[in-house]
Amino acid sequence: MMRKIAAMDSMSSTPREPRPDQADGLRRLFSGSRVRFVPVVSNPHVRSSGAVLEQLCAAYSEMGLNTLFVDAAEAAPAPSELAHVDLGACIEPLSGSVSYLAARGLPMRYTNARGSAAQFLQALAQCAPHAEVVLLHASAPELARVVALRETRPLLLADIENDSVTHAYAAMKWLSQRAGLMVYSLLLAAHPQLRLATRIAQQLTSCADSFLGAVLRDWACVDPRTPAGAPLTPELRHVARELLGVAPPGAALAASQDSAPLRPTSRGSAASPPSYQLLAGAL
């Protein structure tokens, strides 16, 4: 269902401010509305990204929310020809609370003369009025065309391999400089007790702060080998809520615990492994 994309374009360091019309339009679309938009940055180096995102959808189902997964990654299925005239007819129900839209290349069809594809979000909201969460899975350059709204928090994907971590940082660099998005969440495809996962998250956090002025607000490990229907981890539930800006019951009592940028899932040294020491400098 959820496929990986090809390698992204090379990263540029040229800052670009978001267009006022794009940001204002998105604020009007999502302010006071029940639908919440979550940009998910595709990562071609994460082999099990589909399993990770299925668990994220399960987290929203557990919250009683209806989710539309829009797959606009470069290796996603091509949309039906019917998408030109009836986008809603192309949405495929996967379960009672999750639906899927093959959308490779669709955002480009909504791009205006200024390079903004924000109208794509409006089209999604109109064609899927049942959806309360819209997950848009696309590359960083594609997402930058769709949304340049600082209130939106992109979700990064990675695993424990060097290429996936470098790609996640590069995507954060692109979106922070091109779309002004400065706060991120991260899902790592790894066992929750793996010490290396904590060190990777801490290194990404450090590089984001030192080199981009960005914030990796929270993260969670998702074991892609977890059987369907197995209980979700508290860390995954936390990230799912934070992406929507939804506070859990009793949040005031747990604020001191949940407000930390990082929530380690295992004990062990926080020292960064040599393979990630020059992560930011390489980009």
CATH of the domain at 234: 3.40.50.300
Residue whose C-alpha is closest to residue 141's, from 10, 274, 281, 18? 10
CB atoms closer than 10 angstroms to residue 141: 17
Asked if residue 5 is part of any domain, the answer here is: no
Asked if residue 11 is part of any domain, the answer here is: no
Asked if residue 111 is part of any domain, the answer here is: yes
Whether residue 5 has pLDDT greater than 70: no
Residue of higher predicted confidence among 1 and 95: 95
Average pLDDT over every residue of 83-88: 92
- The answer for residues whose C-beta is within 8 angstroms of residue 27's C-beta and 6 or more apart is 149, 151
Q: In the chain, what percentage of residues exceed pLDDT 70?
A: 74
pLDDT, residue 84, reads 87
pLDDT, residue 33, reads 56
| Domain of 85, in residue numbers | 20-276
Between CA 113 and CA 245 the distance in angstroms is: 32
CB atoms closer than 10 angstroms to residue 116: 22
Number of domains within the chain: 1
Q: Is the dihedral of CA 88, 29, 103, 188 positive or negative?
A: negative
- Give the model's confidence band at 31: pLDDT under 50 very low, under 70 low, under 90 confident, else very high: very low
- Give the model's confidence band at 280: pLDDT under 50 very low, under 70 low, under 90 confident, else very high: very low
Helices 119-127 and 20-30 pack at an angle, to 10 degrees, of 20
Asked if residue 6 is part of any domain, the answer here is: no
Residue of higher predicted confidence among 80 and 260: 80
CB atoms closer than 10 angstroms to residue 136: 28
Asked if residue 252 is part of any domain, the answer here is: yes
Average pLDDT over every residue of 34-50: 94
pLDDT, residue 279, reads 52
Residue-averaged pLDDT of the chain: 81
Residue whose C-alpha is closest to residue 150's, from 283, 282, 6, 22? 22
Check: CB of residue 99 under 8 Å from CB of residue 91: yes
Between CA 30 and CA 52 the distance in angstroms is: 26
- The answer for residues whose C-beta is within 8 angstroms of residue 163's C-beta and 6 or more apart is 45
Between CA 243 and CA 228 the distance in angstroms is: 22
pLDDT, residue 263, reads 40
Asked if residue 93 is part of any domain, the answer here is: yes
Residue of higher predicted confidence among 221 and 28: 221
Residue whose C-alpha is closest to residue 149's, from 6, 5, 39, 275? 39
Asked if residue 149 is part of any domain, the answer here is: yes
- φ, ψ for residue 95 (rounded to 5)? -155, -170
pLDDT, tens digit (0-9, with 9 covering 90-100), for 246-273: 655 544 333 333 333 444 333 333 333 4
Pairing between β-strand 155-158 and β-strand 215-222 as defined by DSSP bridges: unpaired
Tell the burial category of 181 from Cβ atoms under 10 Å away from its Cβ (0-12, 13-18, 19+).
buried
pLDDT, tens digit (0-9, with 9 covering 90-100), for 205-250: 999 999 999 999 999 999 999 998 899 999 999 999 999 986 555 4
Average pLDDT over every residue of 191-204: 96
pLDDT, tens digit (0-9, with 9 covering 90-100), for 111-130: 999 889 999 999 999 999 99
Between CA 251 and CA 31 the distance in angstroms is: 23
Between CA 174 and CA 188 the distance in angstroms is: 20
Element counts in the chain: helices (H) and strands (E): 9, 8
Between CA 274 and CA 276 the distance in angstroms is: 5
Question: Half-sphere exposure of 156 toward its Cβ, with a 13 Å CA cutoff?
Answer: 33
Residue of higher predicted confidence among 73 and 29: 73
Asked if residue 15 is part of any domain, the answer here is: no
